[in-house]
Protein backbone atom coordinates (compact mmCIF):
# COMPACT_ATOMS: atom_id res chain seq x y z
CA UNK A 1 0.00 0.00 0.00
CA UNK A 2 1.52 3.40 -0.87
CA UNK A 3 1.60 6.33 1.52
CA UNK A 4 -1.42 8.08 0.02
CA UNK A 5 -3.55 4.95 0.17
CA UNK A 6 -2.53 4.28 3.76
CA UNK A 7 -3.41 7.80 4.84
CA UNK A 8 -6.81 7.76 3.16
CA UNK A 9 -7.65 4.37 4.64
CA UNK A 10 -6.46 5.43 8.08
CA UNK A 11 -8.61 8.56 8.06
CA UNK A 12 -11.64 6.63 6.78
CA UNK A 13 -11.35 4.00 9.51
CA UNK A 14 -10.76 6.59 12.24
CA UNK A 15 -13.80 8.63 11.22
CA UNK A 16 -15.93 5.48 10.94
CA UNK A 17 -14.86 4.48 14.45
CA UNK A 18 -15.93 7.94 15.66
CA UNK A 19 -12.47 8.85 16.98
CA UNK A 20 -10.71 12.19 16.79
CA UNK A 21 -7.06 12.28 15.81
CA UNK A 22 -6.14 12.98 19.43
CA UNK A 23 -8.25 10.10 20.76
CA UNK A 24 -6.69 7.63 18.34
CA UNK A 25 -3.18 8.93 18.97
CA UNK A 26 -3.53 8.64 22.75
CA UNK A 27 -4.97 5.13 22.59
CA UNK A 28 -2.34 3.95 20.11
CA UNK A 29 0.57 5.61 21.91
CA UNK A 30 1.67 7.81 18.99
CA UNK A 31 1.89 11.56 18.63
CA UNK A 32 -1.00 13.57 17.25
CA UNK A 33 1.44 15.28 14.89
CA UNK A 34 2.63 11.97 13.44
CA UNK A 35 -0.92 10.71 13.00
CA UNK A 36 -1.89 13.95 11.23
CA UNK A 37 1.08 13.67 8.89
CA UNK A 38 0.32 10.01 8.11
CA UNK A 39 -3.29 10.82 7.25
CA UNK A 40 -2.20 13.69 5.02
CA UNK A 41 0.44 11.57 3.29
CA UNK A 42 3.19 14.04 4.23
CA UNK A 43 5.53 11.40 5.66
CA UNK A 44 6.16 7.73 5.02
CA UNK A 45 3.91 5.13 6.63
CA UNK A 46 4.68 4.29 10.27
CA UNK A 47 6.77 1.41 11.42
CA UNK A 48 5.02 -1.95 11.57
CA UNK A 49 4.76 -1.89 15.37
CA UNK A 50 2.98 1.47 15.29
CA UNK A 51 0.70 0.34 12.45
CA UNK A 52 -0.27 -2.77 14.38
CA UNK A 53 -1.04 -0.75 17.51
CA UNK A 54 -3.16 1.72 15.51
CA UNK A 55 -5.02 -1.17 13.91
CA UNK A 56 -5.67 -2.83 17.27
CA UNK A 57 -7.27 0.38 18.49
CA UNK A 58 -9.38 0.71 15.33
CA UNK A 59 -10.39 -2.95 15.44
CA UNK A 60 -11.52 -2.58 19.03
CA UNK A 61 -13.58 0.54 18.43
CA UNK A 62 -17.30 -0.31 18.63
CA UNK A 63 -19.39 0.33 15.53
CA UNK A 64 -21.54 3.43 15.48
CA UNK A 65 -25.10 3.14 16.73
CA UNK A 66 -27.22 1.45 14.07
CA UNK A 67 -24.14 0.58 12.03
CA UNK A 68 -24.98 -3.05 11.28
CA UNK A 69 -22.19 -5.20 9.91
CA UNK A 70 -22.95 -7.08 6.69
CA UNK A 71 -20.79 -9.63 4.88
CA UNK A 72 -20.81 -10.43 1.16
CA UNK A 73 -19.16 -13.50 -0.38
CA UNK A 74 -21.17 -13.77 -3.62
CA UNK A 75 -18.36 -12.02 -5.46
CA UNK A 76 -15.22 -10.45 -3.96
CA UNK A 77 -15.31 -10.58 -0.16
CA UNK A 78 -16.82 -7.40 1.30
CA UNK A 79 -17.61 -6.28 4.83
CA UNK A 80 -20.01 -3.36 5.05
CA UNK A 81 -21.19 -1.28 7.96
CA UNK A 82 -17.82 -0.74 9.54
CA UNK A 83 -16.22 0.87 6.51
CA UNK A 84 -12.72 -0.54 6.18
CA UNK A 85 -10.39 -2.26 3.78
CA UNK A 86 -9.74 -5.96 4.12
CA UNK A 87 -6.14 -5.16 3.35
CA UNK A 88 -5.82 -4.62 7.09
CA UNK A 89 -6.86 -8.23 7.71
CA UNK A 90 -4.05 -10.66 7.07
CA UNK A 91 -4.80 -12.96 4.11
CA UNK A 92 -5.26 -16.00 6.34
CA UNK A 93 -7.71 -14.14 8.59
CA UNK A 94 -9.68 -13.01 5.53
CA UNK A 95 -9.77 -16.63 4.30
CA UNK A 96 -11.05 -17.78 7.71
CA UNK A 97 -13.87 -15.23 7.55
CA UNK A 98 -14.69 -16.34 4.01
CA UNK A 99 -14.86 -20.08 4.69
CA UNK A 100 -17.19 -19.68 7.69
CA UNK A 101 -19.33 -17.15 5.80
CA UNK A 102 -19.79 -19.72 3.02
CA UNK A 103 -21.33 -22.00 5.66
CA UNK A 104 -23.31 -19.65 7.91
CA UNK A 105 -24.59 -20.88 11.27
CA UNK A 106 -22.82 -24.21 10.76
CA UNK A 107 -19.80 -25.59 12.59
CA UNK A 108 -16.71 -25.57 10.37
CA UNK A 109 -14.10 -27.95 11.77
CA UNK A 110 -10.51 -27.04 12.47
CA UNK A 111 -9.16 -29.56 9.96
CA UNK A 112 -11.30 -28.08 7.20
CA UNK A 113 -10.24 -24.52 8.03
CA UNK A 114 -6.59 -25.56 8.26
CA UNK A 115 -6.78 -27.16 4.82
CA UNK A 116 -8.25 -23.99 3.33
CA UNK A 117 -5.68 -21.73 4.96
CA UNK A 118 -2.50 -23.79 4.54
CA UNK A 119 -3.19 -26.80 2.34
CA UNK A 120 -1.55 -30.16 3.02
CA UNK A 121 1.47 -28.77 4.87
CA UNK A 122 0.28 -26.50 7.68
CA UNK A 123 2.91 -25.04 10.01
CA UNK A 124 3.44 -26.63 13.40
CA UNK A 125 2.00 -23.48 14.95
CA UNK A 126 -1.21 -23.61 12.89
CA UNK A 127 -3.49 -24.01 15.92
CA UNK A 128 -2.05 -20.96 17.63
CA UNK A 129 -2.09 -18.98 14.39
CA UNK A 130 -5.70 -19.95 13.74
CA UNK A 131 -6.74 -18.62 17.14
CA UNK A 132 -4.96 -15.36 16.35
CA UNK A 133 -6.70 -15.07 12.98
CA UNK A 134 -10.06 -15.71 14.66
CA UNK A 135 -9.36 -12.92 17.15
CA UNK A 136 -8.55 -10.56 14.26
CA UNK A 137 -11.86 -11.42 12.56
CA UNK A 138 -13.77 -10.81 15.80
CA UNK A 139 -12.16 -7.41 16.24
CA UNK A 140 -13.11 -6.49 12.70
CA UNK A 141 -16.75 -7.60 12.99
CA UNK A 142 -17.29 -5.95 16.34
CA UNK A 143 -20.16 -6.91 18.65
CA UNK A 144 -22.93 -7.13 16.04
CA UNK A 145 -21.74 -10.47 14.61
CA UNK A 146 -20.37 -13.52 16.43
CA UNK A 147 -17.56 -15.84 15.40
CA UNK A 148 -17.93 -18.63 17.91
CA UNK A 149 -15.34 -21.25 18.86
CA UNK A 150 -17.09 -24.64 18.69
CA UNK A 151 -16.16 -28.31 18.86
CA UNK A 152 -12.48 -29.18 18.90
CA UNK A 153 -10.98 -26.04 17.45
CA UNK A 154 -13.70 -25.28 14.90
CA UNK A 155 -15.62 -22.05 14.35
CA UNK A 156 -19.18 -20.97 13.57
CA UNK A 157 -20.31 -17.64 12.15
CA UNK A 158 -23.60 -16.76 13.83
CA UNK A 159 -25.45 -14.55 11.39
CA UNK A 160 -28.97 -13.61 10.33
CA UNK A 161 -30.61 -12.80 7.05
CA UNK A 162 -29.73 -9.21 6.19
CA UNK A 163 -26.21 -9.68 7.55
CA UNK A 164 -24.95 -12.08 4.88
CA UNK A 165 -25.73 -12.17 1.16
CA UNK A 166 -25.72 -15.99 1.08
CA UNK A 167 -28.73 -16.09 3.41
CA UNK A 168 -30.53 -13.39 1.44
CA UNK A 169 -29.95 -15.24 -1.84
CA UNK A 170 -31.24 -18.52 -0.45
CA UNK A 171 -34.26 -16.92 1.24
CA UNK A 172 -35.36 -15.20 -1.97
CA UNK A 173 -34.83 -18.39 -3.99
CA UNK A 174 -36.97 -20.31 -1.49
CA UNK A 175 -39.74 -17.72 -1.71
CA UNK A 176 -39.63 -17.99 -5.51
CA UNK A 177 -40.13 -21.74 -5.30
CA UNK A 178 -43.06 -21.27 -2.94
CA UNK A 179 -44.67 -18.69 -5.21
CA UNK A 180 -44.35 -20.96 -8.22
CA UNK A 181 -45.90 -23.87 -6.33
CA UNK A 182 -48.91 -21.63 -5.66
CA UNK A 183 -49.20 -20.78 -9.35
CA UNK A 184 -48.04 -17.17 -9.06
CA UNK A 185 -45.56 -17.23 -11.93
CA UNK A 186 -45.01 -13.46 -12.10
CA UNK A 187 -44.19 -13.28 -8.39
CA UNK A 188 -41.89 -16.29 -8.71
CA UNK A 189 -40.14 -14.66 -11.66
CA UNK A 190 -39.59 -11.40 -9.75
CA UNK A 191 -38.26 -13.25 -6.71
CA UNK A 192 -35.84 -15.23 -8.87
CA UNK A 193 -34.60 -11.95 -10.31
CA UNK A 194 -34.09 -10.50 -6.83
CA UNK A 195 -32.24 -13.64 -5.79
CA UNK A 196 -29.89 -13.38 -8.76
CA UNK A 197 -29.32 -9.69 -7.97
CA UNK A 198 -27.54 -10.76 -4.78
CA UNK A 199 -24.58 -11.90 -6.89
CA UNK A 200 -21.73 -9.57 -7.79
CA UNK A 201 -19.66 -12.11 -9.74
CA UNK A 202 -17.62 -15.23 -9.08
CA UNK A 203 -17.48 -15.97 -5.35
CA UNK A 204 -14.33 -14.87 -3.50
CA UNK A 205 -12.29 -13.60 -6.43
CA UNK A 206 -8.66 -13.10 -5.43
CA UNK A 207 -8.41 -15.96 -2.96
CA UNK A 208 -6.50 -19.20 -3.36
CA UNK A 209 -8.22 -21.93 -5.35
CA UNK A 210 -8.53 -24.02 -2.18
CA UNK A 211 -11.18 -21.54 -1.08
CA UNK A 212 -12.68 -20.73 -4.48
CA UNK A 213 -13.11 -24.46 -5.21
CA UNK A 214 -14.38 -25.31 -1.73
CA UNK A 215 -17.48 -27.54 -1.90
CA UNK A 216 -19.59 -24.83 -0.28
CA UNK A 217 -18.52 -22.29 -2.93
CA UNK A 218 -19.17 -24.80 -5.72
CA UNK A 219 -22.61 -25.61 -4.28
CA UNK A 220 -23.52 -21.92 -4.20
CA UNK A 221 -22.51 -21.50 -7.84
CA UNK A 222 -24.60 -24.52 -8.81
CA UNK A 223 -27.58 -23.11 -6.89
CA UNK A 224 -27.16 -19.83 -8.72
CA UNK A 225 -27.31 -21.63 -12.05
CA UNK A 226 -30.40 -23.56 -10.93
CA UNK A 227 -32.14 -20.29 -10.01
CA UNK A 228 -31.06 -18.79 -13.35
CA UNK A 229 -32.57 -21.73 -15.23
CA UNK A 230 -35.80 -21.39 -13.28
CA UNK A 231 -35.83 -17.65 -13.93
CA UNK A 232 -35.37 -18.27 -17.65
CA UNK A 233 -38.15 -20.83 -17.76
CA UNK A 234 -40.55 -18.55 -15.89
CA UNK A 235 -39.61 -15.59 -18.09
CA UNK A 236 -40.37 -17.52 -21.26
CA UNK A 237 -43.70 -18.62 -19.86
CA UNK A 238 -44.83 -15.09 -18.98
CA UNK A 239 -43.41 -13.42 -22.08
CA UNK A 240 -40.35 -11.70 -20.59
CA UNK A 241 -37.88 -13.07 -23.15
CA UNK A 242 -35.97 -9.81 -23.65
CA UNK A 243 -35.44 -9.36 -19.91
CA UNK A 244 -34.28 -12.96 -19.57
CA UNK A 245 -31.79 -12.67 -22.41
CA UNK A 246 -30.33 -9.45 -21.02
CA UNK A 247 -29.85 -10.85 -17.51
CA UNK A 248 -28.47 -14.23 -18.51
CA UNK A 249 -25.76 -12.61 -20.62
CA UNK A 250 -24.32 -11.32 -17.35
CA UNK A 251 -24.22 -14.72 -15.63
CA UNK A 252 -21.31 -17.07 -16.40
CA UNK A 253 -22.29 -20.42 -17.88
CA UNK A 254 -25.81 -19.19 -18.75
CA UNK A 255 -25.45 -17.06 -21.48
CA UNK A 256 -24.43 -10.48 -12.55
CA UNK A 257 -24.18 -7.35 -11.77
CA UNK A 258 -25.63 -6.82 -8.30
CA UNK A 259 -28.24 -4.52 -6.89
CA UNK A 260 -28.16 -6.16 -3.44
CA UNK A 261 -26.82 -4.26 -0.45
CA UNK A 262 -23.40 -5.89 -1.02
CA UNK A 263 -23.03 -4.21 -4.39
CA UNK A 264 -20.68 -1.42 -3.35
CA UNK A 265 -17.07 -1.32 -4.46
CA UNK A 266 -15.35 -4.51 -3.26
CA UNK A 267 -12.48 -4.47 -0.85
CA UNK A 268 -9.33 -6.42 -1.48
CA UNK A 269 -8.78 -9.82 0.18
CA UNK A 270 -5.26 -8.65 1.10
Q: Which of 68, 71, 74 is nearest to 258 (CA)?
A: 74
What pLDDT, on the 0 to 100 scale, is given for residue 263?
41
Locate the DSSP E strands across the chain.
70-72, 78-80, 146-150, 154-158
What pLDDT, on the 0 to 100 scale, is given for residue 45?
65
What pLDDT, on the 0 to 100 scale, is given for residue 85?
44
What pLDDT, on the 0 to 100 scale, is given for residue 38?
82
Pairing of strands 146-150, 78-80: unpaired
On whether the pTM is more than 0.75, the answer is no
Question: Architecture of 86-158 per CATH?
Answer: Orthogonal Bundle (1.10)
What pLDDT, on the 0 to 100 scale, is given for residue 41?
77
What pLDDT, on the 0 to 100 scale, is given for residue 230?
94
> Which class would CATH give 3-60?
mainly alpha
Asked whether the domain spanning 86-158 has the same topology as the one spanning 3-60, the reply is no
Cα dist from 19 to 26, 69, 137, 139, 157, whole Å:
11, 18, 21, 16, 28
What pLDDT, on the 0 to 100 scale, is given for residue 158?
93
Domain ranges of the chain: 3-60, 86-158
To the nearest 5 percent, what fractions of the chain are helix, strand and coil?
Answer: 55, 5, 40
DSSP state of 164: B
What pLDDT, on the 0 to 100 scale, is given for residue 257?
45
User: Consecutive 10-residue runs of the chain (270 residues): their mean pLDDT?
Assistant: 64 74 79 83 72 73 59 87 56 93 95 94 92 88 84 91 92 93 93 92 85 93 93 93 84 54 39
Amino acid sequence: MDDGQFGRSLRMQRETAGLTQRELAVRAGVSVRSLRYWENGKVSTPRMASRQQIQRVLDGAPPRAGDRVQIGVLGPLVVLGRTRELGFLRPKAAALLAVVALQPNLEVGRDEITQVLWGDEPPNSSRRLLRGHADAVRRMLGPTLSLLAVGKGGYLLKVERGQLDVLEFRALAGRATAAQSMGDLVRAYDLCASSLDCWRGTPLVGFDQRLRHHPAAVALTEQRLAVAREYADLGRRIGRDAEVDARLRLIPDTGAGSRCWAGTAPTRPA
